[in-house]
Amino acid sequence: MGDRRYTETHEWVDVEDGVATIGITDFAQSQLGDVVFLELPRQGRKLSAGETFGVIESVKAASDLYAPVAGTVLEVNERLVSNPELVNKDPLGEGWLIKVQAEGGLPDSLLDQAAYARLAESGSH
């Protein structure tokens, strides 16, 4: 497991051997409520950091998903097609969204665990 980093838009990224696994945070899933479905990119799509790569739609609202890092999509979590609730139940584990072959380093704008915890704390009030 690498060192997990966070965006201000509530995605997380964990890079290991150049492969970035991307998901949404526990705070994000709790704010969204029950996830109904996701639109995720096709394998092979090139993403730039900060680009919209999909949409997550919950009972409450639809939200865009933003790429924490640049790279090429290697794999999409197919289990979410029939089990979108995995995003609610295990957002940091089985509810991951995509894996990306990362290109370039991690953007400086990404937050560490402590900084993200402060952001989520201030956003929940």
Partner 1 sequence: MVDFAGWEMPQQYSSVREEHAAVRGAAGLFDVSHMGRVSFRGAGAGEFLQGLVTNDIAGVGPGHAQYNLICNQAGGVLDDLVVYRLPDGSWSAVVNASNRIKDVEWMRAHAGSGVEVLDRSRETALLALQGPRAESVLARLAPGLDLGAIPYFGVAEGEVAGAPATVSRTGYTGEDGFEILLPAARVGAVWDALLEAGAVPAGLAARDVCRLEAGLRLYGNDMDEDTNPYQAGLGWTVKLDKGDFVGRQALAGVRERGPDRVLAGIRCGERTIPRHGAGVSRAGDRVGVVTSGTHSFFLGAGIGMASVTAGAAPVGARIEVESRGGAGDGEVVKLPFYRGSVKTAASARQSG
Residues lying near partner 1 in the complex (CB under 8 A) are found at: 33-34, 36-37, 55, 57, 59-60, 62, 85, 88
- List Cβ neighbours of 103 (8 Å cut-off, separation of 6 or more): 69, 70, 71, 72
Give the containing element (helix H, strand E) for 38.
Answer: strand 35-39
Residue with Cβ nearer partner 1 (10 or 99) = 10
C-beta of residue 87 within 8 angstroms of C-beta of residue 79: no
Q: How far is the CB of 57 from partner 1 (least distance, A)?
A: 6
- List Cβ neighbours of 101 (8 Å cut-off, separation of 6 or more): 18, 19, 20, 71, 72, 74
Q: How far is the CB of 90 from partner 1 (least distance, A)?
A: 13
Residue with Cβ nearer partner 1 (16 or 39) = 39
Residue with Cβ nearer partner 1 (83 or 101) = 83
Q: What is the dihedral of CA 116, 118, 121, 122, to 10 degrees?
A: -110
Residue with Cβ nearer partner 1 (33 or 105) = 33
Strand partners, 99: 21, 75
Q: How far is the CB of 53 from partner 1 (least distance, A)?
A: 14
Q: How far is the CB of 27 from partner 1 (least distance, A)?
A: 15
